[in-house]
Structure 1
Amino acid sequence: MTVMRQGRIRRTTLVGAVCALVVTGTGLLAGCSEDADAGTNGVGKLPADTIQSKTRAAADSAEAVRLSGTVVTNGRTYTLDMRLKSGGGSGTVTSKGAAFGLLRIGEKLYLKADARFWNHADGNSESATSGTLDGKYVKVPQGDPSYKKFSGFTDKDVLLDGLLTLHGALAKDGHHEQAGTRTIRITGDKGSGGTLDVSLEGRPYPLRLERAGGAGTLTFSSWGKDFALTEPKKNETVDYGKQLPTS
Protein backbone atom coordinates (compact mmCIF):
# COMPACT_ATOMS: atom_id res chain seq x y z
CA MET A 1 0.00 0.00 0.00
CA THR A 2 2.78 2.41 0.98
CA VAL A 3 4.83 1.46 -2.10
CA MET A 4 1.85 2.12 -4.37
CA ARG A 5 1.23 5.52 -2.74
CA GLN A 6 4.90 6.51 -3.04
CA GLY A 7 4.91 5.45 -6.67
CA ARG A 8 1.81 7.52 -7.36
CA ILE A 9 3.33 10.57 -5.67
CA ARG A 10 6.61 10.18 -7.60
CA ARG A 11 4.69 9.83 -10.86
CA THR A 12 2.64 12.95 -10.15
CA THR A 13 5.80 14.88 -9.27
CA LEU A 14 7.56 13.71 -12.45
CA VAL A 15 4.63 14.63 -14.65
CA GLY A 16 4.49 18.07 -13.03
CA ALA A 17 8.20 18.64 -13.64
CA VAL A 18 7.99 17.59 -17.28
CA CYS A 19 4.92 19.73 -17.87
CA ALA A 20 6.64 22.75 -16.38
CA LEU A 21 9.59 22.44 -18.73
CA VAL A 22 8.28 21.04 -22.00
CA VAL A 23 5.83 22.90 -24.22
CA THR A 24 4.84 22.48 -27.84
CA GLY A 25 3.49 24.90 -30.38
CA THR A 26 -0.06 24.02 -29.32
CA GLY A 27 0.52 24.22 -25.59
CA LEU A 28 1.68 21.72 -22.99
CA LEU A 29 2.95 18.32 -23.97
CA ALA A 30 0.21 15.73 -24.36
CA GLY A 31 -0.52 14.00 -21.06
CA CYS A 32 0.29 17.05 -18.97
CA SER A 33 -3.36 17.67 -18.19
CA GLU A 34 -3.49 14.72 -15.78
CA ASP A 35 -6.21 15.21 -13.18
CA ALA A 36 -4.55 15.81 -9.80
CA ASP A 37 -7.76 14.62 -8.11
CA ALA A 38 -7.93 11.30 -9.94
CA GLY A 39 -8.24 8.43 -7.48
CA THR A 40 -8.92 10.73 -4.52
CA ASN A 41 -12.01 11.22 -2.37
CA GLY A 42 -12.98 14.13 -4.63
CA VAL A 43 -12.98 16.94 -2.06
CA GLY A 44 -10.15 18.69 -3.88
CA LYS A 45 -12.61 19.73 -6.59
CA LEU A 46 -14.97 21.39 -4.12
CA PRO A 47 -15.02 25.07 -3.06
CA ALA A 48 -12.88 25.93 -0.05
CA ASP A 49 -15.81 26.56 2.28
CA THR A 50 -17.34 23.20 1.40
CA ILE A 51 -14.00 21.48 2.05
CA GLN A 52 -13.86 23.13 5.46
CA SER A 53 -17.39 21.94 6.28
CA LYS A 54 -16.63 18.39 5.22
CA THR A 55 -13.35 18.16 7.14
CA ARG A 56 -15.00 19.52 10.28
CA ALA A 57 -17.80 16.97 9.94
CA ALA A 58 -15.27 14.17 9.48
CA ALA A 59 -13.28 15.28 12.54
CA ASP A 60 -16.38 15.61 14.70
CA SER A 61 -17.63 12.14 13.79
CA ALA A 62 -14.28 10.38 14.35
CA GLU A 63 -14.12 8.33 17.54
CA ALA A 64 -10.50 9.23 18.28
CA VAL A 65 -7.50 11.23 17.11
CA ARG A 66 -3.88 11.92 17.97
CA LEU A 67 -2.89 15.58 18.06
CA SER A 68 0.70 16.81 18.28
CA GLY A 69 2.52 20.08 17.82
CA THR A 70 2.52 23.54 19.34
CA VAL A 71 -0.18 25.93 20.45
CA VAL A 72 0.55 29.55 21.40
CA THR A 73 -2.01 31.19 23.66
CA ASN A 74 -1.76 34.33 25.77
CA GLY A 75 1.91 34.61 24.80
CA ARG A 76 2.78 31.14 26.09
CA THR A 77 3.77 28.17 23.94
CA TYR A 78 2.46 24.71 24.76
CA THR A 79 3.83 21.60 23.09
CA LEU A 80 1.18 18.90 22.93
CA ASP A 81 1.16 15.19 22.22
CA MET A 82 -2.34 14.00 23.06
CA ARG A 83 -4.60 11.09 22.16
CA LEU A 84 -8.25 12.05 22.46
CA LYS A 85 -11.67 10.45 22.26
CA SER A 86 -15.18 11.19 23.52
CA GLY A 87 -14.61 9.55 26.91
CA GLY A 88 -11.38 11.36 27.72
CA GLY A 89 -7.76 11.53 26.67
CA SER A 90 -4.14 11.15 27.66
CA GLY A 91 -0.75 12.50 26.70
CA THR A 92 1.84 15.11 27.57
CA VAL A 93 2.00 18.88 27.64
CA THR A 94 5.21 20.93 27.88
CA SER A 95 5.36 24.60 28.81
CA LYS A 96 8.36 26.70 29.84
CA GLY A 97 10.54 23.61 29.87
CA ALA A 98 8.31 21.76 32.33
CA ALA A 99 6.47 18.68 31.09
CA PHE A 100 3.47 17.03 32.66
CA GLY A 101 1.18 14.17 31.72
CA LEU A 102 -2.59 14.35 31.68
CA LEU A 103 -5.12 11.55 31.93
CA ARG A 104 -8.87 12.08 31.89
CA ILE A 105 -11.40 9.27 32.16
CA GLY A 106 -14.90 10.67 32.11
CA GLU A 107 -14.87 13.52 34.64
CA LYS A 108 -11.85 12.18 36.53
CA LEU A 109 -8.72 14.16 35.69
CA TYR A 110 -5.18 13.24 36.75
CA LEU A 111 -1.95 15.18 36.38
CA LYS A 112 1.43 13.43 36.48
CA ALA A 113 4.74 15.31 36.62
CA ASP A 114 8.29 15.05 37.86
CA ALA A 115 9.89 16.91 40.75
CA ARG A 116 11.01 19.77 38.50
CA PHE A 117 7.38 20.64 37.70
CA TRP A 118 6.31 20.58 41.34
CA ASN A 119 9.38 22.53 42.48
CA HIS A 120 8.44 25.23 40.00
CA ALA A 121 4.84 25.15 41.22
CA ASP A 122 5.94 25.52 44.84
CA GLY A 123 8.50 28.20 44.01
CA ASN A 124 11.11 26.08 45.74
CA SER A 125 14.05 24.39 44.03
CA GLU A 126 13.99 21.55 46.56
CA SER A 127 10.45 21.33 47.86
CA ALA A 128 9.76 18.42 50.20
CA THR A 129 6.35 18.07 48.57
CA SER A 130 7.89 17.57 45.14
CA GLY A 131 9.63 14.40 46.25
CA THR A 132 6.30 12.91 47.30
CA LEU A 133 4.58 13.90 44.06
CA ASP A 134 7.41 13.02 41.68
CA GLY A 135 6.08 10.59 39.07
CA LYS A 136 2.73 10.17 40.81
CA TYR A 137 -0.78 10.81 39.54
CA VAL A 138 -2.45 13.74 41.29
CA LYS A 139 -6.22 13.82 40.99
CA VAL A 140 -7.39 17.31 40.05
CA PRO A 141 -10.56 18.31 41.96
CA GLN A 142 -13.33 19.62 39.71
CA GLY A 143 -13.59 22.68 41.92
CA ASP A 144 -9.91 23.55 41.46
CA PRO A 145 -9.33 26.51 39.09
CA SER A 146 -6.85 24.43 37.09
CA TYR A 147 -9.41 21.72 36.31
CA LYS A 148 -11.05 23.53 33.40
CA LYS A 149 -7.73 24.48 31.82
CA PHE A 150 -6.08 21.08 32.15
CA SER A 151 -9.19 19.13 31.18
CA GLY A 152 -9.43 21.24 28.02
CA PHE A 153 -6.21 19.63 26.78
CA THR A 154 -7.90 16.24 27.06
CA ASP A 155 -11.25 17.14 25.49
CA LYS A 156 -11.49 16.24 21.80
CA ASP A 157 -14.50 18.44 21.06
CA VAL A 158 -13.17 21.46 22.94
CA LEU A 159 -9.74 21.30 21.31
CA LEU A 160 -10.98 20.74 17.77
CA ASP A 161 -13.64 23.45 18.05
CA GLY A 162 -10.98 25.89 19.18
CA LEU A 163 -8.32 24.87 16.71
CA LEU A 164 -9.93 23.94 13.38
CA THR A 165 -10.86 27.50 12.50
CA LEU A 166 -9.48 29.53 9.64
CA HIS A 167 -9.97 33.30 9.71
CA GLY A 168 -10.84 35.50 6.77
CA ALA A 169 -11.89 34.61 3.24
CA LEU A 170 -11.32 30.94 2.42
CA ALA A 171 -9.46 29.79 -0.69
CA LYS A 172 -7.72 26.69 -2.02
CA ASP A 173 -3.94 26.62 -2.18
CA GLY A 174 -3.18 23.60 -4.33
CA HIS A 175 -2.37 19.95 -3.81
CA HIS A 176 0.21 18.91 -1.23
CA GLU A 177 1.31 15.92 0.83
CA GLN A 178 1.36 15.21 4.56
CA ALA A 179 3.18 12.13 5.88
CA GLY A 180 2.72 10.31 2.57
CA THR A 181 -0.95 11.23 2.15
CA ARG A 182 -2.14 13.51 -0.62
CA THR A 183 -3.90 16.64 0.61
CA ILE A 184 -5.73 19.69 -0.59
CA ARG A 185 -4.75 22.87 1.26
CA ILE A 186 -7.20 25.59 2.18
CA THR A 187 -6.27 28.97 3.58
CA GLY A 188 -7.87 31.84 5.43
CA ASP A 189 -7.09 35.35 4.22
CA LYS A 190 -4.42 34.07 1.81
CA GLY A 191 -2.62 32.24 4.62
CA SER A 192 -2.48 34.95 7.26
CA GLY A 193 -5.68 33.51 8.71
CA GLY A 194 -4.20 30.02 8.90
CA THR A 195 -3.78 27.04 6.57
CA LEU A 196 -5.25 23.56 6.77
CA ASP A 197 -4.26 20.43 4.85
CA VAL A 198 -7.17 18.04 4.27
CA SER A 199 -6.75 14.40 3.31
CA LEU A 200 -7.59 13.44 -0.26
CA GLU A 201 -7.51 9.75 0.65
CA GLY A 202 -10.32 8.09 2.55
CA ARG A 203 -12.35 10.40 4.74
CA PRO A 204 -11.41 14.11 4.42
CA TYR A 205 -9.79 14.38 7.84
CA PRO A 206 -7.69 17.45 8.71
CA LEU A 207 -4.02 16.42 8.76
CA ARG A 208 -2.00 19.58 9.36
CA LEU A 209 -2.89 23.02 10.67
CA GLU A 210 -0.90 26.23 10.77
CA ARG A 211 -2.77 28.58 13.06
CA ALA A 212 -3.30 32.23 12.22
CA GLY A 213 -0.76 34.75 13.47
CA GLY A 214 1.95 32.18 14.10
CA ALA A 215 -0.07 30.70 16.97
CA GLY A 216 1.29 27.20 16.46
CA THR A 217 1.41 24.24 14.09
CA LEU A 218 -0.37 20.95 14.70
CA THR A 219 -0.60 17.59 12.97
CA PHE A 220 -3.48 15.15 13.30
CA SER A 221 -3.18 11.38 12.89
CA SER A 222 -4.67 8.05 14.00
CA TRP A 223 -8.15 9.25 13.15
CA GLY A 224 -10.76 6.74 14.33
CA LYS A 225 -8.20 4.48 16.03
CA ASP A 226 -9.44 3.64 19.53
CA PHE A 227 -7.09 3.40 22.51
CA ALA A 228 -7.39 2.36 26.14
CA LEU A 229 -7.75 4.72 29.09
CA THR A 230 -6.80 3.01 32.34
CA GLU A 231 -7.33 4.29 35.86
CA PRO A 232 -4.04 4.66 37.77
CA LYS A 233 -3.49 2.27 40.66
CA LYS A 234 -4.00 3.52 44.20
CA ASN A 235 -0.28 3.30 44.99
CA GLU A 236 0.38 5.54 41.97
CA THR A 237 -2.00 8.29 43.13
CA VAL A 238 -1.44 11.00 45.74
CA ASP A 239 -3.20 14.15 46.96
CA TYR A 240 -1.51 17.49 46.28
CA GLY A 241 -3.31 19.02 49.25
CA LYS A 242 -3.64 22.55 47.87
CA GLN A 243 -4.56 24.49 44.77
CA LEU A 244 -2.83 23.09 41.71
CA PRO A 245 -0.68 25.29 39.47
CA THR A 246 -2.06 26.30 36.09
CA SER A 247 1.24 26.77 34.24
Structure 2
Amino acid sequence: MSVPPRSACCWQAGTAACGDAKDNKASAAAPAPKLDTDKLSADEIQKQAKDALATASSVRISGEMNDADGKMTMDLALDTKGQCTGTMSVPGAGKFEIISDGKQSFLKPDTDMWAAVGGPNGAKAAELFKGRYLTGFESDDDFKSFSSVCNLTVLSKQLVEDDDDKSTFTKGSAGTVNGAKTFSLKAKDAKGEESTIHVLVEGKPYPVRIEKSGGKESGQISFGDFDKPLTVQAPPADSVIDFKKFKELQGA
Protein backbone atom coordinates (compact mmCIF):
# COMPACT_ATOMS: atom_id res chain seq x y z
CA MET A 1 0.00 0.00 0.00
CA SER A 2 2.90 2.39 0.71
CA VAL A 3 5.52 3.67 -1.71
CA PRO A 4 8.73 1.56 -1.59
CA PRO A 5 11.66 3.58 -0.20
CA ARG A 6 14.52 4.74 -2.37
CA SER A 7 17.79 2.84 -2.06
CA ALA A 8 19.88 3.48 1.03
CA CYS A 9 22.66 5.16 -0.93
CA CYS A 10 20.28 7.78 -2.31
CA TRP A 11 19.02 8.61 1.17
CA GLN A 12 22.47 8.79 2.72
CA ALA A 13 24.61 10.41 0.04
CA GLY A 14 22.32 11.92 -2.57
CA THR A 15 21.68 10.83 -6.15
CA ALA A 16 25.31 11.39 -7.21
CA ALA A 17 26.34 8.47 -5.02
CA CYS A 18 23.96 6.06 -6.70
CA GLY A 19 26.02 5.29 -9.81
CA ASP A 20 25.41 6.10 -13.45
CA ALA A 21 22.17 7.11 -15.14
CA LYS A 22 21.18 3.49 -15.71
CA ASP A 23 21.61 2.70 -12.02
CA ASN A 24 19.69 5.83 -11.10
CA LYS A 25 16.72 4.65 -13.17
CA ALA A 26 16.84 1.22 -11.58
CA SER A 27 16.99 2.67 -8.08
CA ALA A 28 14.23 5.22 -8.62
CA ALA A 29 11.19 4.83 -6.40
CA ALA A 30 8.51 2.62 -7.83
CA PRO A 31 5.34 4.44 -8.84
CA ALA A 32 2.57 4.65 -6.30
CA PRO A 33 0.02 1.84 -6.63
CA LYS A 34 -3.18 2.80 -8.38
CA LEU A 35 -6.71 1.76 -7.58
CA ASP A 36 -8.06 -0.30 -10.46
CA THR A 37 -11.52 1.20 -10.54
CA ASP A 38 -12.40 -0.66 -13.76
CA LYS A 39 -11.62 -4.09 -12.40
CA LEU A 40 -12.76 -3.70 -8.79
CA SER A 41 -16.42 -3.70 -7.77
CA ALA A 42 -17.93 -0.86 -5.75
CA ASP A 43 -18.01 -3.05 -2.62
CA GLU A 44 -14.35 -4.00 -3.10
CA ILE A 45 -13.33 -0.35 -3.44
CA GLN A 46 -15.34 0.56 -0.35
CA LYS A 47 -13.68 -2.22 1.63
CA GLN A 48 -10.22 -1.11 0.53
CA ALA A 49 -11.03 2.43 1.63
CA LYS A 50 -12.20 1.27 5.06
CA ASP A 51 -9.16 -0.96 5.46
CA ALA A 52 -6.80 1.84 4.44
CA LEU A 53 -8.32 4.23 6.96
CA ALA A 54 -8.06 1.56 9.65
CA THR A 55 -4.30 1.33 9.06
CA ALA A 56 -3.64 5.10 9.16
CA SER A 57 -1.35 6.07 12.03
CA SER A 58 -2.81 9.58 12.09
CA VAL A 59 -5.42 11.66 10.27
CA ARG A 60 -7.10 15.03 10.34
CA ILE A 61 -10.91 14.93 10.28
CA SER A 62 -12.90 18.09 9.61
CA GLY A 63 -16.34 19.15 8.47
CA GLU A 64 -19.91 19.26 9.67
CA MET A 65 -22.99 17.07 9.89
CA ASN A 66 -26.59 18.12 10.46
CA ASP A 67 -29.34 16.02 12.00
CA ALA A 68 -32.59 16.54 13.88
CA ASP A 69 -30.70 17.75 16.95
CA GLY A 70 -28.69 20.40 15.09
CA LYS A 71 -25.26 20.83 13.58
CA MET A 72 -22.12 19.04 14.68
CA THR A 73 -18.76 20.42 13.57
CA MET A 74 -15.26 19.06 14.03
CA ASP A 75 -11.68 19.85 13.18
CA LEU A 76 -9.51 17.24 14.85
CA ALA A 77 -6.03 15.85 14.26
CA LEU A 78 -5.56 12.51 16.00
CA ASP A 79 -3.39 9.41 15.95
CA THR A 80 -3.32 5.80 17.09
CA LYS A 81 -1.32 6.75 20.21
CA GLY A 82 -4.32 8.53 21.65
CA GLN A 83 -2.93 11.97 20.89
CA CYS A 84 -5.29 14.58 19.49
CA THR A 85 -5.85 18.28 19.23
CA GLY A 86 -8.68 20.33 17.80
CA THR A 87 -12.22 21.54 18.29
CA MET A 88 -15.68 20.03 18.14
CA SER A 89 -19.22 21.29 18.63
CA VAL A 90 -22.14 19.19 19.78
CA PRO A 91 -25.80 20.07 19.10
CA GLY A 92 -27.35 21.53 22.24
CA ALA A 93 -24.09 21.36 24.19
CA GLY A 94 -21.86 24.05 22.75
CA LYS A 95 -18.30 23.84 21.51
CA PHE A 96 -15.08 22.63 23.09
CA GLU A 97 -11.37 22.44 22.44
CA ILE A 98 -9.67 19.18 23.29
CA ILE A 99 -6.04 18.21 23.74
CA SER A 100 -4.74 14.76 24.55
CA ASP A 101 -1.10 13.76 24.82
CA GLY A 102 -2.01 10.07 24.90
CA LYS A 103 -1.92 9.93 28.69
CA GLN A 104 -4.11 12.79 29.81
CA SER A 105 -6.98 14.65 28.18
CA PHE A 106 -7.74 18.36 28.54
CA LEU A 107 -11.12 19.86 27.67
CA LYS A 108 -11.86 23.59 27.32
CA PRO A 109 -15.62 24.17 27.00
CA ASP A 110 -17.11 27.40 25.68
CA THR A 111 -19.79 29.31 27.60
CA ASP A 112 -22.65 27.33 26.05
CA MET A 113 -21.07 24.03 26.99
CA TRP A 114 -20.46 25.13 30.56
CA ALA A 115 -24.14 26.05 30.76
CA ALA A 116 -25.14 22.65 29.32
CA VAL A 117 -22.96 20.51 31.60
CA GLY A 118 -22.83 22.72 34.67
CA GLY A 119 -26.45 22.40 35.72
CA PRO A 120 -27.73 25.22 38.00
CA ASN A 121 -24.15 26.45 38.42
CA GLY A 122 -23.32 26.40 34.70
CA ALA A 123 -23.09 30.18 34.37
CA LYS A 124 -20.94 30.38 37.47
CA ALA A 125 -18.64 27.66 36.16
CA ALA A 126 -18.36 29.46 32.82
CA GLU A 127 -17.19 32.61 34.56
CA LEU A 128 -14.99 30.91 37.15
CA PHE A 129 -13.24 28.55 34.74
CA LYS A 130 -13.31 30.75 31.63
CA GLY A 131 -10.45 29.96 29.24
CA ARG A 132 -9.21 27.05 31.31
CA TYR A 133 -8.98 23.33 30.62
CA LEU A 134 -10.62 20.55 32.61
CA THR A 135 -8.65 17.38 33.22
CA GLY A 136 -9.29 14.16 35.11
CA PHE A 137 -12.83 13.71 33.77
CA GLU A 138 -12.40 10.39 31.95
CA SER A 139 -14.20 8.30 34.57
CA ASP A 140 -17.23 10.61 34.80
CA ASP A 141 -20.30 9.27 33.00
CA ASP A 142 -21.27 12.70 31.64
CA PHE A 143 -17.79 13.56 30.37
CA LYS A 144 -16.01 10.35 29.38
CA SER A 145 -17.59 10.42 25.93
CA PHE A 146 -15.59 13.58 25.19
CA SER A 147 -12.29 11.78 25.62
CA SER A 148 -13.44 9.06 23.21
CA VAL A 149 -13.25 11.55 20.32
CA CYS A 150 -9.47 11.11 20.55
CA ASN A 151 -9.75 7.42 19.73
CA LEU A 152 -8.87 7.29 16.04
CA THR A 153 -10.01 3.70 15.59
CA VAL A 154 -13.46 4.32 17.07
CA LEU A 155 -14.08 7.71 15.50
CA SER A 156 -13.06 6.77 11.96
CA LYS A 157 -15.17 3.62 12.14
CA GLN A 158 -18.22 5.61 13.26
CA LEU A 159 -17.82 8.09 10.42
CA VAL A 160 -17.22 5.57 7.63
CA GLU A 161 -19.70 2.85 8.53
CA ASP A 162 -23.45 3.21 8.26
CA ASP A 163 -25.61 2.56 11.32
CA ASP A 164 -27.32 -0.47 9.82
CA ASP A 165 -24.39 -1.42 7.56
CA LYS A 166 -26.86 -2.43 4.83
CA SER A 167 -26.08 0.20 2.23
CA THR A 168 -25.69 -0.86 -1.38
CA PHE A 169 -22.69 0.74 -3.08
CA THR A 170 -22.50 1.64 -6.75
CA LYS A 171 -19.67 3.16 -8.72
CA GLY A 172 -19.63 6.88 -9.28
CA SER A 173 -17.03 8.68 -11.35
CA ALA A 174 -13.47 9.96 -11.42
CA GLY A 175 -12.82 13.38 -9.89
CA THR A 176 -10.50 15.41 -7.71
CA VAL A 177 -10.59 16.44 -4.06
CA ASN A 178 -8.15 19.12 -2.95
CA GLY A 179 -6.12 18.49 -6.10
CA ALA A 180 -5.83 14.71 -5.56
CA LYS A 181 -7.30 12.22 -8.03
CA THR A 182 -10.30 10.37 -6.61
CA PHE A 183 -13.06 7.96 -7.52
CA SER A 184 -16.51 8.24 -5.99
CA LEU A 185 -18.83 5.59 -4.61
CA LYS A 186 -22.56 6.11 -4.13
CA ALA A 187 -24.66 4.43 -1.46
CA LYS A 188 -28.27 4.51 -0.36
CA ASP A 189 -29.61 2.79 2.74
CA ALA A 190 -33.08 1.53 3.61
CA LYS A 191 -33.93 4.85 5.27
CA GLY A 192 -33.28 6.81 2.10
CA GLU A 193 -30.03 8.35 3.23
CA GLU A 194 -27.60 8.88 0.38
CA SER A 195 -23.84 8.87 0.81
CA THR A 196 -20.95 9.63 -1.49
CA ILE A 197 -17.44 8.50 -0.61
CA HIS A 198 -14.48 9.94 -2.49
CA VAL A 199 -11.49 7.56 -2.50
CA LEU A 200 -7.90 8.29 -3.51
CA VAL A 201 -6.87 6.38 -6.61
CA GLU A 202 -3.10 6.82 -6.23
CA GLY A 203 -1.22 5.47 -3.22
CA LYS A 204 -3.27 4.07 -0.37
CA PRO A 205 -6.99 4.24 -1.21
CA TYR A 206 -7.88 6.49 1.70
CA PRO A 207 -11.37 7.99 1.82
CA VAL A 208 -10.83 11.76 1.63
CA ARG A 209 -14.41 12.98 1.74
CA ILE A 210 -17.80 11.66 2.79
CA GLU A 211 -21.01 13.47 1.85
CA LYS A 212 -24.45 12.61 3.18
CA SER A 213 -27.91 13.79 2.18
CA GLY A 214 -31.52 12.74 1.93
CA GLY A 215 -31.90 11.22 5.38
CA LYS A 216 -31.58 12.16 9.02
CA GLU A 217 -28.03 13.34 8.45
CA SER A 218 -26.60 15.74 5.88
CA GLY A 219 -23.23 17.35 5.50
CA GLN A 220 -19.64 16.67 4.61
CA ILE A 221 -16.63 15.23 6.44
CA SER A 222 -13.10 15.44 5.02
CA PHE A 223 -10.05 13.33 5.86
CA GLY A 224 -6.45 14.42 5.33
CA ASP A 225 -2.89 14.59 6.71
CA PHE A 226 -2.75 10.79 6.68
CA ASP A 227 0.18 9.33 8.64
CA LYS A 228 1.52 12.82 9.41
CA PRO A 229 3.35 12.70 12.78
CA LEU A 230 1.40 14.49 15.48
CA THR A 231 3.17 16.38 18.25
CA VAL A 232 0.93 17.43 21.11
CA GLN A 233 1.83 19.36 24.24
CA ALA A 234 -0.27 19.56 27.36
CA PRO A 235 -1.50 23.08 28.19
CA PRO A 236 0.37 25.10 30.86
CA ALA A 237 -0.38 24.01 34.41
CA ASP A 238 -1.78 27.43 35.36
CA SER A 239 -4.49 27.08 32.70
CA VAL A 240 -5.67 23.67 33.91
CA ILE A 241 -8.18 22.84 36.63
CA ASP A 242 -8.89 19.45 38.14
CA PHE A 243 -12.30 17.98 37.42
CA LYS A 244 -12.84 17.58 41.17
CA LYS A 245 -13.12 21.36 41.53
CA PHE A 246 -15.86 21.42 38.93
CA LYS A 247 -17.75 18.63 40.73
CA GLU A 248 -17.41 20.51 44.00
CA LEU A 249 -19.00 23.55 42.38
CA GLN A 250 -21.83 21.40 41.04
CA GLY A 251 -22.53 20.20 44.56
CA ALA A 252 -22.43 23.68 46.03
Question: TM-score range, shorter-chain basis?
Answer: 0.7 to 0.9
1:165 deviates by 2.0
Cα distance per residue 1:1-23 (max 9 Å; x no partner): xxxxxxxxxxxxxxxxxxxxxxx
Identity of aligned residues (%): 27
**2:148 corresponds to:** 152
**C-alpha spacing 1:178/1:142, structure 2 compared with 1 (3 Å):** same
In structure 2, distance between residues paired with 1:242 and 1:151: 17
**C-alpha spacing 1:220/1:73, structure 2 compared with 1 (3 Å):** same
Query: RMSD of the alignment, in Å?
Result: 2.9
Aligned-partner SS, 1:153: helix
1:62 deviates by 1.1
Number of residue-to-residue matches in the alignment? 207
**2:173 corresponds to:** 174
In structure 2, distance between residues paired with 1:157 and 1:209: 17
1:126 deviates by 8.6
Show structure 1 runs of 5+ residues with no match. 1-38
In structure 1, distance between residues paired with 2:142 and 2:60: 23
**C-alpha spacing 1:147/1:123, structure 2 compared with 1 (3 Å):** closer
**1:43 corresponds to:** 36
2:80 corresponds to 1:86: yes
1:233 deviates by 2.3
Amino acid at match of 1:64: S
**2:58 corresponds to:** 64
TM-score, normalized by length of structure 2?
A: 0.72
**C-alpha spacing 1:195/1:124, structure 2 compared with 1 (3 Å):** same
Q: Is 2:52–2:205's contact at 8 Å kept on the other side of the alignment?
A: yes
TM-score, normalized by length of structure 1?
A: 0.73
In structure 1, distance between residues paired with 2:249 and 2:158: 24
Q: Is 1:184–1:197's contact at 8 Å kept on the other side of the alignment?
A: yes
1:133 deviates by 1.1
Amino acid at match of 2:185: I
In structure 1, distance between residues paired with 2:122 and 2:153: 38
**2:131 corresponds to:** 135
1:47 deviates by 0.8
Q: Is 1:69–1:80's contact at 8 Å kept on the other side of the alignment?
A: yes
Q: Within 5 Å, give how 1:202-241 maps onto structure 2.
A: 202-211=203-212, 213=215, 214-240=217-243, 241=246
1:138 deviates by 0.4
**C-alpha spacing 1:162/1:124, structure 2 compared with 1 (3 Å):** same
Aligned-partner SS, 1:224: coil
